[in-house]
Structure 1
């Protein structure tokens, strides 16, 4: 159930109950200079002034507090807690059952919108109990709708639809103008939307919108437009979705309804994502994110927005920001899980204390009876004591077994969630790693290698062609061999690197001089590092630093023993420098994109996210800006 729908219900329930009471009493009640019968939302500041009047009747104050909660639900939901507690306490002290029903339902809506579904259910059931005692048609309809909402929360939309259909039949039979009618259309549309019955859902949203227009409910019209926009988005009617969502946004912005603004921004982001305009999707998602972060209460919605933002940045290949938002999504998920876990522990502790107090009371009563009859019935005393002890032992064993079973279930659930999170992370890590490995054999390198082989054959240099082809096949074989390995030995890494550099030297026709230096302290056969981590940086030095240099090109790769946990790799060239390389790329219409390096950067972020020892990369220019002497890349690689 969407939060805009919940707000609409809160407002209708509070305002229309006041209207019915005024009609029965035949009295015109004015609120802040506006007749309540006009069915318009009153000004927030004026409403606060009216509530704080000392001569205000307690029942009217309850009604106004319920109206105030509707305002806060749309504008600043964090204020609702104290307002509704006051309404509940005041209703109980005055025996005002109708006001109590509204306050309990509003409190349920508050917990629902902040993602605390168990609390929402608890307050809805309290309201249901009071409604059943009143035995009214109004209570019956609301109970049915409440059951429908509960089934929605339990992800059973079919049962929810059964209840909403029944509610709709009762409303049309008993009172076609009942204030619950548009809300029930909304509920039914939402449940049908969950089952992807978008045409039927749109029909019920339009029905609610039609009623809102007829009654002059501007907020109802806006919420209907927002719901239609969401349905149009899911059915890929993006133009219709943008029109409806912008209509809703205009009203929510005009009335400063922050929560509904955030939901509309979120829906617009999804529309533009469907249109592949990810930059606009990111902009709208950011607007929603600012509101949710400022409210700081709806962790589930925050997690959803962070996840969407990660996906949008990934689509524009900004993998760094994508990774940052993915991490935030997991952090919010952990917060939600910890909060629910603490509540479960607290409930168990309360239950244990209650049962313990009951058991102690029963023991005390038994001992008192035994003491009175001890003199006359010694034999019965022994039998009774034995029975009591057996009962206590049986109770204790049963209780202990139940608690042990519950703890096992909680532990299994906790481990399962942690395992699911770890599996998701491992899957992303694996995909990024394979992408980096596959992209190392990029089309440019393969094309150039095959061209070189062809030139040797055409120029009748068969020995050189055979030698080149043999080295090329060896390199491909090594890449395929290590593509499934998470880590390889330093000796294997260096062997693959040497093959790659020999092929590049043949293409440079002896203009390229390379040197690989390994610290004697390093045990190359027993030292393991992430698979083929260095090659993309060597490739980048050749393609961007040395390719456009005139004269002798020099490339040096050093592997040093940094400390017991790290190997340091220094890649140094005497190329044209990063500034000149960027200028050349800017002039070219089609230039080489370092796919291997970008994929490797994404892989580094995932490796660093799960690792205690982080991989560090630093790239710097040699010489000054005007007279570049080359480039140096320093990589600190943790030993696996």
Structure 2
């Protein structure tokens, strides 16, 4: 700091080379939305960082520059940035967007190393420009944003820059709801350089990925005394969110209340509104309606003082609360007010169909409230508006729900002909929704595959960087060993041994990676195969106009799908979870073919389900084959038995038997009708078992034979599973 005493006491405010790219953000940043502003304070002649400079934003946020002269602070458009330090005059600057700000302290004269320093600074500016570009495209184009981060990593010159790049990569995955990848990249960022900002983001990513204990541990690991007021509020809010997700409501209220105290003390108005609203929601979930009502009234009053969009969001939350209380008049009044505001702000904002702030959803809910009041005329008017708007905006979900509700209202109003027409339209919309869902599943699978591919390339880039560094060190070692022949020979032998060991280890790891990739691919093929079979079942119910049966089937199917998707990334899951999946799946199959078979699932009481693990969905294809290719074609009602026994301390046996038509008749029937292809599920299972046995030394054994010596021979499948 002694050098600063010689400097002229005035500052020049400049922006990074990526400023022009960052201007594109102005189209999407709301005037009230808070964002991170990055910047640095440096000596203009040497570009040396100036640490411990006071950085403040009007409204309460405060921080200082770190050892690298850099800072990051939360602000919103229109806030005043104040830069203070005893060795130069205070700088005041109005924030316009999430630009990267650079404050340069100018000396009396330039020194002789200017050109070299300029080159170094230019290289840094390239990195910052690429990071700025990645942030610009973060919400627009995930692939392009990830590519900018990859390019930035190539130009990264320090662990600090590595940390920043992986943080932005984590932000990309967070926005696109790839929470597991966000967790991985935030952790890499922290490994390079730990900051409280990234720790808070990591804790949030853990929460959204349902790693609740990891989220709480990360929040608790943060030193609260190092946080700005805004960060402290965000931390308490995050802890409250985790407790609310885990239904520990008292702990959630305590955390939200602590955050509310800090926000009120430091006049952080947006968070005061949010936390009042969240406390109200927790009390509502606890069934304490009066307390919830008090907090909702406060949040609604505060939201009205903010921008219109925030006010509308809170009105909709309170309207939902009024609906739960059956106070339909208050609900209708709030939703009408919200609808007027939505129509006003819709020209300036873009709401996708997933948002609650769409006219079609609010008209639908108003119509539903009128229907609950038996005011069928008003209900019909608003439901028809909802259907028309949903049709214009291609919102099939709302259009379907509103059409169904309209049919019910018309029926209750005694207009049976119109009710029948509306119901027929509803049935047609259901078909369109299922068709659209299939397309969305396919698109989501392709998107996820592309994202994972790009992430793997980035990790490969990091591996190449490490390999290049290793080669550089090897060349230095070789240059030194040339001076000493004896040491050269010894070093060469050691190098060959190390290289051989590394190659062996690399080949082993590569084989493991290939096996894991193959398992993941096979699992990803199982899910669509299973989903499409289930959807065919739903379609048959709908085709027969059995809506109630279809709804019940869908309800059970959704439970099964949730469990399947939660376990889809695991090589093994506890046996007790697989048994739950089997019970759900067999229940669904029996639901459709009640007249074809009965089933029984028997589990040895001596088996501890948590002691054994099993590949997820390993047994489902065998049960599927038993039902679809054996029992379904049996002339009399058949039986399906699933028995799990333990003959040895480290081994269990799972026996699946059916008295269906048998494998030979099933194959002959397929060939004769030429209607179906061979089961993909069975082929996938054989490959999975083969790979798993190669990786875990014969952990799973499968034996298939005829079940009995009768006309309907049936099939017996014995799966032997060994403990780790």
Whose radius of gyration is greater, 1 or 2?
1
Same fold at TM > 0.5? no
| TM-score tier (shorter) | 0.3 to 0.5
Could you say which structure has the greater relative contact order, defined with CA pairs below 8 angstroms and 6 or more residues apart? Answer: 1
The structure that is helix-richer by fraction is: 1
The structure that is strand-richer by fraction is: 2
- TM-score normalised by structure 2 residue count: 0.38
- TM-score normalised by structure 1 residue count: 0.42
